[in-house]
Amino acid sequence: MSRVETRLAIITGAARGIGAATALRLAKEGFTVLAADLEDGAELQGVVAEMTAAGGNGLAVAGDVADPGLFPALFDRAESLCGGVDVLVNNAGIMVRKPIAEIDDMEFDRQIAVNLRGTFHGLREASQRMRKGGRIVSVSSSVAALRAENYGIYAATKVGIEAMTASLAKELRGRDITVNAVAPGATGTDLFLNGKSAEAIAAFARLAPLNRIGSPEEIAAVIAFITGPEGGWINGQTIHANGGVV
């Protein structure tokens, strides 16, 4: 099987990190990519330029996944461009790394709104409008299983994503649409690196038997496999891409 030029992927949180790496990877594999992020700024435009330079086709879209109107608008645009959506990657997310006792209501609500409700918005729209043979991938985190201190609310949102993933895979029975989650471990993204000392990063690296942190491109490769022709028998799963952290 080979990909065809009319296949379209929506990727949220595409301006940097895992989202940007996934957008570039799927664009190289022949997808038209709707690259969505909170702002259509220099970072997102840079990702689109990189996709174009690599011979792909990418378009930037600004929007907040917490807004229930974003995904209907993305699917509308996808249908006008390519007739529908073949891949959705729910990647947008934020993290407040604090003890639960120190997280205020605004910080709590925003993490829920972006990580959990934003992913729900994508899953809901995709469940109604994804084309036959489509692939839905949501980005979780290995922190959901580790239950690490200072990550309580963030981890709770990711546990919720994994639960919705397993449920939706069953709800789409007979539709030939797979629903999976990828749970990265420590990965060299701004979300992970910002606010951490070199010592803290090294400590995370030691958690993995491979003795390093991952790269956004390695996570993008896992997503590309799930959304590719060889990944069609993987469904309802959370794949831990973390170098062996248990």
Catalytic residues: 154
Cβ neighbours of residue 215 closer than 8 Å, sequence gap 6 or more? 21, 187, 188
- Distance, CA of 158 to CA of 23 (rounded, Å): 21
Q: Is 245 helix (H, G, I), strand (E, B) or coil?
A: coil
- Distance, CA of 147 to CA of 156 (rounded, Å): 9
Which tokens in the block code for residue 88? 């959705």
Residue from 19, 21, 34 nearest 86 by CA:
34
Residue from 202, 204, 214, 211 nearest 239 by CA:
214
Residue from 34, 40, 43, 37 nearest 13 by CA:
37
Cβ(26)–Cβ(11) below 8 Å: yes
DSSP for 87-137, written as a single string: EEEE-------S-GGG--HHHHHHHIIIIIIHHHHHHHHHHHHPPTT-EEE
Residue from 62, 136, 56, 149 nearest 99 by CA:
149
